[in-house]
């Protein structure tokens, strides 16, 4: 009897390290192989990985003109783009960095709000193993916590307590 294939949700997992001591080109550069963009939509109670966000081409962003002023999109649906970095320690992979960026989208008028500099800076902070999700509402944190746990219980278990505590809602 064969077991059904587990649905892959597209997390980037570390393959190799360009800074492994060879001393050549790329030493000191951060690799994007171990970061994944995770969207949290509290109104739809939906969480999903969309690698297209690495180049602002996610399903949420396609066909939307983004404006730098939040007030210009008063009826926008809230999304959190969470940059999740996975690293590896002796025991195995773990969630090492996690930063959240706010984004709103109004499909009806094909407009949205996001701060591109914030998205780039938060991606960089996640790569540097920072945890910055304090702006997220409790419902979104709870959705993200359950998603990360259900994706891989072992990765969640190996994650540092500060990451787990940042997603607590009580």
Query: Average pLDDT in the 30-59 region?
Result: 90
Range of the domain at 109: 35-167
Give the least confident one: 26-30, 88-92, 161-165.
26-30
Q: What is the pLDDT of residue 32?
A: 62
Query: Average pLDDT in the 52-66 region?
Result: 93
| Residue 140 falls inside a structural domain | yes
d(Cα 83, Cα 31) in Å, to the nearest integer?
14
Give the least confident one: 8-22, 48-62, 75-89, 136-150.
8-22
| Residue 30 falls inside a structural domain | no
Chain segment 108-142, per-residue pLDDT in tens: 999 999 999 999 999 999 999 999 999 999 999 99
Q: What is the pLDDT of residue 19?
A: 44
| Residue 7 falls inside a structural domain | no
Q: What is the pLDDT of residue 31?
A: 57
Give the least confident one: 18-27, 38-47, 51-60, 62-71.
18-27
| Residue 97 falls inside a structural domain | yes
Is residue 52 predicted with pLDDT exceeding 60?
yes
Domain count, the chain: 1
**Pairing status of strand 65-67 against strand 111-113:** parallel
Chain segment 9-27, per-residue pLDDT in tens: 455 544 444 444 444 444 4
| Residue 96 falls inside a structural domain | yes
Q: What is the pLDDT of residue 55?
A: 87
| Residue 39 falls inside a structural domain | yes
Q: What is the pLDDT of residue 21?
A: 46
| Residue 72 falls inside a structural domain | yes
| Residue 94 falls inside a structural domain | yes
Task: Encode burial over 92-121: b for 16+ CB neighbours within 10 A, e otherwise.
Answer: ebbbbbbbbbbbbbbeeeebbbbbeeebee
CA angle 133, 73, 110 (to 5 degrees): 105
3-state secondary structure of 51: helix
């Amino acid at each position: 009897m064969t077991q059904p294939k587990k649905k892959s949700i597209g997390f980037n997992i570390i393959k190799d390290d360009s800074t492994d001591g060879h001393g050549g080109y790329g030493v000191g550069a951060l690799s994007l192989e171990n970061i994944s963009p995770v969207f949290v939509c509290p109104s739809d109670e939906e969480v999903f990985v969309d690698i297209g966000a690495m180049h602002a081409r996610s399903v949420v962003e396609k066909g939307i003109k983004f404006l730098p002023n939040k007030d210009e999109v008063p009826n926008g649906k809230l999304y959190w783009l969470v940059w999740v970095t996975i690293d590896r320690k002796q025991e195995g992979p773990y969630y090492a960095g996690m930063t959240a960026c706010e984004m709103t989208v109004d499909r009806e008028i094909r407009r949205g709000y996001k701060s591109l500099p914030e998205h780039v800076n938060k991606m960089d902070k996640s790569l540097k193993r920072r945890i910055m999700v304090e702006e997220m509402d409790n419902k979104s944190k709870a959705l993200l916590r359950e998603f990360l746990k259900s994706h891989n219980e072992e990765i969640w278990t190996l994650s540092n307590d500060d990451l787990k505590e940042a997603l607590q809602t009580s």
